[in-house]
Amino acid sequence: MPGTASELEKLRAALAASERRASAAEGRAAAAEADLAQARAVVSTSEAMIAALKLEIALLRRDKYGHGAERTARLDQLELQLEELVADAAEDKARADQAAEKTTKVAAFERRKPVKKPFPEHLPRERVVVEAPTTCSCCGSDRIVKMGEDVTDTLEVIPRQWKVIQTVREKFTCRVCEKISQSPAPFHPVPRGWAGPSLLAMIVFEKYGQHQPLNRQAERYAREGVELSLSTLADQVGAVADLLKPLHALIEAHVMAAERLHGDDTTVPLLARGGTKTARLWTYVRDDRPFGGIAPPAVFFRFSRDRGGEHPTEHLTGWQGILQADAYAGYNQLYKGDRKPGPVLPALCWSHARRKFFELADVEGNIRKGKSPNEISPIAFEAVKRIDALFEIERGLNGLDPAARLEARQRLSAPVVENLERWLRGERAKLSKHVKVAKAIDYLLSADHWPGFTRFLDDGRVCLSNNAAERSLRGVALGRKSWLFAGSERGGQRAAAMYTLIGTAKLNGIDPQAWLADVIARISDLPVSRLPALLPWNWQKPAASSAEAA
């Protein structure tokens, strides 16, 4: 028996030692897991920080060198990358905290939290008071008094609410003549109307301003419990477009009164028999702000089935002035000396010229495409630097009157342009016509193009680029990915009209949807002489709408 007891003690000691070793191993594994989670969190946060710094650098470069399409695309990529990396860092931080709770040997990793901006003051506040304690949590005494409070703000959203407004018209009969008296029927903005102005404005703005086709809108409304068929929504869109035609005409007349216009066009797939064909949406922008003009900015769009040169000729019938555009040959009919009422003066876009060089000098872009760094053109790289110097000068002249801009350009920009021309002609003489950079040089120095590129040196109203027109087409480019094609030629013309209204509202810094809702509600009651009061630059937000927003 003594031997048996001794063996039992030994077994117990061995078991205890084994448990201690297992516990120690488990602790080491937990610590290793926590260390790994912490390391991953550090790496994720570092990557997010690097992405944030890259984005900040890109923003600074854009502020310094302008809003080119290349920089805009680069910013979009960086913003998306930053979004994903910050989400990864948050996920790894949570895992690190969970791992740290399993062991006391590894401190939880603390990620630097972004500074949260306060919520807007105009949002309503709802106080939810947590039930206060009635006794001391330490000693249990009920002799406690309030000494303050801590408030935690949480942003919340109330889902969209639908309602039906019932307008009741009571009938009265006369005891004397037995005739029936009743108030007139309520006014509807559009024929066969069943939708209120705010709903109509939302439908058309989401279609043309937010690029949401009617079928997607119908699906979303159905999920919210309101069944509206596609044909029903389309009927209202057509009625609204017809209702707003007078405003479209006023905006177009305002644009055509400008002495300088920006013009451009973009492709629009048009549904045709057997597939789609490539139609065009044209834009003409009036923006006098760069040379200190006081006229409000505006834009009008036109639709055509093709890109024939007769379309801009028809769009600008009777207009004479300076047209800022690209070197598209379709504009040449406007520049003829025998044109009535006179020839249009071309002013070409330096951003277009720069882009041709930039594509050959974009080191990162070419490497991403699998090209060798040796394919980067040093001539193109130098040309981009010299053209950027012109844009740097222009940024300091923005908003000055034409005379001041012209004087500064003659003094600062003219020598840069002269040196650029001399250098490019010298480099071009050494190149074969088949070299890519030679084609970029020929585009700029062509006898047909160079006078248009240098017109800004002779007229202070001219801008260096046609970016105003390109910005106006940005929404169309985004919309193509959503609505895929225009269903008909009339649909394209209707889209051009609505883009005119929404684009002009945005140029004047007002909320297009709020403006459309008010205009739809009031336009039928106003005489023609008072319609200019509804134009975006004259419009005043109704006091009732302001109170509701507050």
Q: In this predicted model, which residue has the larger pLDDT, 56 or 351?
A: 351
Give the CA-trace dihedral at 423, 426, 431, 434, to 10 degrees: 70
Rounded to the nearest 5°, which phi and psi values hold at 178? 65, 25
Question: Distance of CA 27 to CAs 18, 34, 102, 400, 510, Å?
Answer: 14, 10, 9, 71, 62
The answer to whether the beta carbons of residues 275 and 484 sit under 8 Å apart is: no
Whether the model pTM is above 0.85:
no
- In the numeric block, the tokens 């109509």 are attached to 200
- Both tokens of 362, joined, read 């974009």
pLDDT of 547 above 50: no
Task: Look at residues 278, 323, 285 and name the one whose alpha carbon lies nearest to residue 301.
Answer: 285
- pLDDT at position 194: 86
pLDDT of 509 above 70: yes
| Highest-pLDDT range among 16-20, 103-107, 160-164 | 160-164
- pLDDT at position 360: 83
Confidence class for position 392, pLDDT limits 50, 70, 90: very high
Confidence class for position 34, pLDDT limits 50, 70, 90: confident
If one counts every other C-beta atom within 10 angstroms of the C-beta of residue 232, the result is: 13
pLDDT of 448 above 70: yes
Task: Look at residues 323, 464, 324, 470 and name the one whose alpha carbon lies nearest to residue 394.
Answer: 464
- Mean pLDDT of the region 220-233: 91
- Both tokens of 85, joined, read 């990396």
Q: Residue 261 pairs with which residues in a beta bridge?
A: 323
* Percent over 90 (pLDDT), the chain: 45
Q: Residue 171 pairs with which residues in a beta bridge?
A: 182
- pLDDT at position 35: 75
* Percent over 70 (pLDDT), the chain: 81
Question: Distance of CA 24 to CAs 21, 28, 29, 115, 311, Å?
Answer: 5, 6, 8, 41, 83
Break the chain into its structural domains and give their ranges. Answer: 11-101
| Highest-pLDDT range among 143-147, 378-382, 388-392 | 388-392
Burial class (CB in 10 A: 0-12, 13-18, 19+), 517: buried
- pLDDT at position 131: 86
Which 3 state secondary structure label does DSSP give 281?
A: strand
pLDDT of 442 above 90: yes
- Mean pLDDT of the region 12-16: 73
Q: In this predicted model, which residue has the larger pLDDT, 545 or 486?
A: 486
Confidence class for position 461, pLDDT limits 50, 70, 90: very high
Confidence class for position 546, pLDDT limits 50, 70, 90: very low
User: Kind and range of the H or E element at 249?
Assistant: helix 245-256
- pLDDT at position 57: 73
How big is the CA angle at 281 (ends 453 and 331), to the nearest 5 degrees? 35
- Mean pLDDT of the chain, nearest integer: 83
Confidence class for position 49, pLDDT limits 50, 70, 90: confident
- pLDDT at position 277: 86
**3-state secondary structure string across 102-151:** CCCCCCCCCCCCCCCCCCCCCCCCCCCCCCCCCCCCCCCCCCCCCCCCCC
pLDDT of 469 above 80: yes
Comparing 81-85, 99-103, 177-181, 492-496, the range with the smallest average pLDDT is 81-85
